[in-house]
Amino acid sequence: MSHVLGLRCRECGTEYELQATHVCEMCFGPLDVAYDYDAIRRVISRARIEAGPPSIWRYRDLLPVPPEARVVTLGEGFTPLVKADRLGAELGLTNLYLKNDSMNPTNSFKDRVVSVAISWARAQGFETIGCASTGNLANAVAAYAARAGLECFVFMPNDLEEGKVVATAVFEPNLIAVRGNYDEVNRLCSQLLEELPWAFCNLNIRPFYAEGSKTLTFETAEQLGWKLPDEIVVPIGSGCQFVRHRRAAQELIELGLVDDGGDLPRLTAAQALGCAPAYNAWEAGTDRVAPVRPDTIARSIAIGNPSDGTYVVRIARETGGVVEAVSEDEILEAIRLLARTEGIFTEPAGGVTVGVLAKLARAGRWRGDEVIVAYITGHGLKTADVASDGIQGRRVEIDPTVSSFRELVQI
Amino acid sequence: MPQFRIPGPLRNLSGGEATVEVQASNLRGAIEQLDARFPGFKGRLLDDDGQPRQFVNLFLNDEDVRLGKGLDSPLSEQDEIAIVPAVAGGSWPPHP
């Protein structure tokens, strides 16, 4: 593979050959893909990217999949960047954009990471794909494994909502319902991968999987006319995506692909107060993120012990962003605000993002003309039950007569 | 006796053993004993302040020790201490 050098520990710098592993043997730090940027710089250009497919694969030169490999794709990425004038007007922001990643094939940003992970795994000869998940990741892994024709094992807690199970089971993976919570499921998977030659998307092939998130920033810059925004707002689960936003922005700057390159966007992190380990550390003025027991409707980002939590706090501080959190009521109100003003129905994680955006705007964080991008990472139909309170008072039942309509509807 | 479950990346320290029994009354003592038998473990698990390293999760039976008494957690006969790299990507149920 010409443009990828290997894996490198983000903490201690120890280098490893390219392989399915995600943990540094020296310090347990996370491993990242290391690229040969000189080789990439010789080939990459705006024109080359713009001539590529309308998917994440137009940025293939910056993704860790061998050039000769056939990728596993469902057309993920290149989702709409919507100028949010009506939401912006409510918040006093004239250059607000929403990256609507609920428009992906399985309706969350996980399609980006899974497409990269499974493409890498298939190119390496893996025959079985696995993951531990409770929703978005499970949907994506099951769909892409089906597309690739690979064996698939999805491990889930046994008490999941039926909707999430159906949206995964339809792709006919081996669906393993574990009598335990997510943490126990994940630990089981980490033990299994020591015995089985499988590629677990969120475990041993995580360094490759994580790189898929960079395409969110690449697309944002391209859709803004090859400019980076002034600030971005990102929901935080493990923090993996947040870290990749910075890496992607740095790559765009260093490769000369953006105008006025030099400044990173301010990176602002959004959490639910019911699961806010990074926010707690931010408030306490420390990088050390202590685990919490999650209790929030934003289950897709309810990770009590986030692997990249420390980096979230550091990156927010270094770039001039903040870490903010919102209550359950604020999440629900934000879901309704986004739907009412922009016609986008998001899951609670998107409610966290918009809730934090609104909270910061109302507190006077911005002048009003900054270019701000908020990431809507999952679709509301996946968790329709949480928004069901919102339909009360929106429904009027009438007889099929004009008089009944006239009697009950004031127009 | 309480036993450690050693993850793959650290088994080069334990001579390939996946589990190691120890005799100690609390977690701190257990790590000391593990290190005495297989030198190098303490440095991998604890930082210079003697606290668990950032990317090391220690689970006493099913509980993350940082949610409880940390290294002071008492041990009893059948306890299992799992050393787990920090990984994530999904959610915990709100009320496990």
A395, pLDDT greater than 70: yes
Same domain, A62 and A94: no
Q: Is pLDDT larger for residue A66 or for residue A306?
A: A66
Cβ–Cβ gap B94/A296 under 8 Å? yes
B95, pLDDT greater than 50: no
Which residues 60-79 of chain A have a CB within 8 Å of chain B? none
Nearest residue in chain B measured CA to CA from A190: B84
Single-letter amino acid code for the residue at A254: E
Same domain, A200 and A316: no
Q: Which ranges of chain B does DSSP label H, i.e. alpha helix?
A: 27-37, 41-45
Closest CA to A257 of A65, A61, A389, A68: A61
How far apart (Å, rounded) are the C-alpha atoms in residues A289 and A310? 6
Find the CB nearest A299 among B55, B59, B91. B91
On whether residue A396 sits in a domain, the answer given is no
Q: Which ranges of A224-265 does DSSP label H, i.e. alpha helix?
A: 240-254
B93 band by pLDDT with thresholds 50, 70 and 90: very low
How far apart (Å, rounded) are the C-alpha atoms in residues A326 and A320? 20
The residue out of A163, A189, A209 marking a domain boundary is: A209
The residue out of A174, A191, A209 marking a domain boundary is: A209
Average confidence score pLDDT of chain B: 84
CATH number at residue A187: 3.40.50.1100
A95 lies within 8 A of chain B by CB: no
Cβ–Cβ gap A293/B87 under 8 Å? no
With tokens 């986008």, the residue in question is A344
Cβ–Cβ gap A181/B93 under 8 Å? yes
Same domain, A22 and A159: yes
pLDDT digits (tens, 9 = 90+) for A154-176: 998 887 777 778 999 999 999 99
**Per-residue pLDDT at B96:** 27
On whether residue A410 sits in a domain, the answer given is no
Closest CA to A256 of A229, A236, A228, A284: A228
On whether residue A238 sits in a domain, the answer given is yes
How many domains does one find in chain A?
2
Same domain, A88 and A123: no
A387 band by pLDDT with thresholds 50, 70 and 90: confident
B94, pLDDT greater than 50: no
Question: For A252-267, what is the mean pLDDT?
Answer: 91
For residue B60, what are the contacts with CB-CB under 8 A and spacing of at least 6?
B27, B68, B73, B75, B79, B80, B81
Closest CA to A110 of A21, A194, A32, A213: A213
Same domain, A69 and A193: yes
A203 lies within 8 A of chain B by CB: yes
On whether residue A407 sits in a domain, the answer given is no
Find the CB nearest A291 among B56, B62, B66. B66
**Per-residue pLDDT at A216:** 98
Mutate to test the interface with B, among A11, A184, A292, A305 (most CBs of B within 10 A): A305
Question: For A90-105, what is the mean pLDDT?
Answer: 98
On whether residue A403 sits in a domain, the answer given is no
A300 lies within 8 A of chain B by CB: yes
Domains and CATH numbers, chain B: 3-85 (3.10.20.30)
On whether residue A402 sits in a domain, the answer given is no
Chain A residues with CB inside 8 Å of B92's CB? 181-183, 293-294, 302-304
Q: Which domain holds residue A63?
A: 4-73+110-209
B89 band by pLDDT with thresholds 50, 70 and 90: very low
Same domain, A326 and A387: yes
pLDDT digits (tens, 9 = 90+) for A296-349: 999 888 888 888 999 999 999 999 999 999 999 999 999 999 999 999 999 999
Question: For B14-36, what is the mean pLDDT?
Answer: 94
Same domain, A56 and A103: no
Same domain, A222 and A305: yes
Same domain, A356 and A288: yes
Provide the phi-psi class of B52: left if phi over 0, else alpha when psi is between -120 and 50, else beta. Answer: beta
How far apart (Å, rounded) are the C-alpha atoms in residues A9 and A30? 6
Interface residues of chain B, partner chain A, Cβ below 8 Å: 5, 7-10, 12, 44, 53-57, 59, 62, 64, 66-67, 82, 84-96
